[in-house]
Amino acid sequence: MVKITGTAVFVIAMASLLGCGGISHRQSPENTQKGEQGELAETIEAKSSSMEHSHPAPDNTESHYDRGYTKISKRENDEYYEGIIDANGKQVVPLCTRLLVADIAGNVALIQFETKFLFVPLDGSVYSKDDLASVNGFQYAEPYQCGLAMVSVDDVRFYINSNFEKAFDSNFEFAESFHQNRALVMSDKKYRIIDTDGKTVADLNFDQVMLQSEWCWQVINKVGGKYKNGFVDLNGRLITELVYDKVGYYDPEVKRIWVRCGDRYGFLDEHAKVVIPLKYEYAEIFSRGKAKVILDGRTFFIDPEGNEVND
């Protein structure tokens, strides 16, 4: 068992965790930049082998059994249950109404049990509801990316490695999951980009910074009483000057970002480069591979390359 400032969590014993090529969460439910930084002491203990386990058989569940450990769920009498089974269909995390399976990667699962987040080793052990209830867990946690997981205790965020140790001696007011070996963090109310060693790649002197695609962040400053938007790359270099009045969310399906500058609309790609010129009098975000636009008073639809298509 591992304890972090008196918070006990399940230890992770595994070598391979999610790669760095994607983004699991654009914005977390606890994505508020709040709280004073505190000191987080770490005490490592051996995982207890004396837990009392149960393994009820799955009943009225829907799942796929061909990918090892799998989330299962069922609805019964207006109650919703989730749990985890192994490749043989045995429940290793029991179906429970108080449990949500956030992620399964390799030999570890991230679950939310009641109001706490737990990393559960999928090593052949079978866990009971009492096992889960006996662990304090994290206030919040996100899945592993680039070998590190972002976790929160007492409104302070930090990163843990695959050995379940604090990755580097830094706490943050805000921190996001890593992608492409980079992460956005905030300390002392200032944004910066760090690498997987916790070293600062770039300081970001902007009023607001938020993730768009895995290749860029949106940056915002208040200019002349109005907010202006631009983009920086993974190393904090300015890709686009702060010229946009409005910016939509990145759509990974079509790899496009909706933007407006003045009274003209267009679209950027995942690197924040203009791919559909800002020439439209109006444009909607893409839906099912096409976007409604107005040009010279005429309404029609375009594909992600800007070609006119049938509605």
The listed range with the strongest mean pLDDT (21-30, 62-71, 292-301) is 292-301
pLDDT at 115 over 90: yes
Identity of residue 143? P
pLDDT of residue 163: 83
pLDDT at 228 over 90: yes
Residues of the chain above pLDDT 90, percent: 73
The answer for 118, left when phi > 0, alpha when psi is -120 to 50, beta otherwise, is beta
Tell me what the pLDDT averaged over the chain comes to: 82
pLDDT of residue 52: 28
Q: What angle is formed at CA 101 by the lines to CA 99 and CA 106, rounded to 5 degrees?
A: 140
More confident residue, 106 or 116: 116
Lowest mean pLDDT among 65-74, 137-146, 172-181: 65-74
pLDDT of residue 105: 87
Identity of residue 286? F
Lowest mean pLDDT among 28-37, 124-133, 185-194: 28-37
Segment 25-63, tens digit of pLDDT? 334 433 333 332 222 222 222 222 222 222 233 344 444
Rounded-to-integer distance, Cα 104 and Cα 144, Å: 10
pLDDT of residue 21: 58
Do 99 and 93 contact (CB within 8 A), yes or no?
A: yes
Structure tokens at 296: 């010279």
pLDDT at 303 over 80: yes
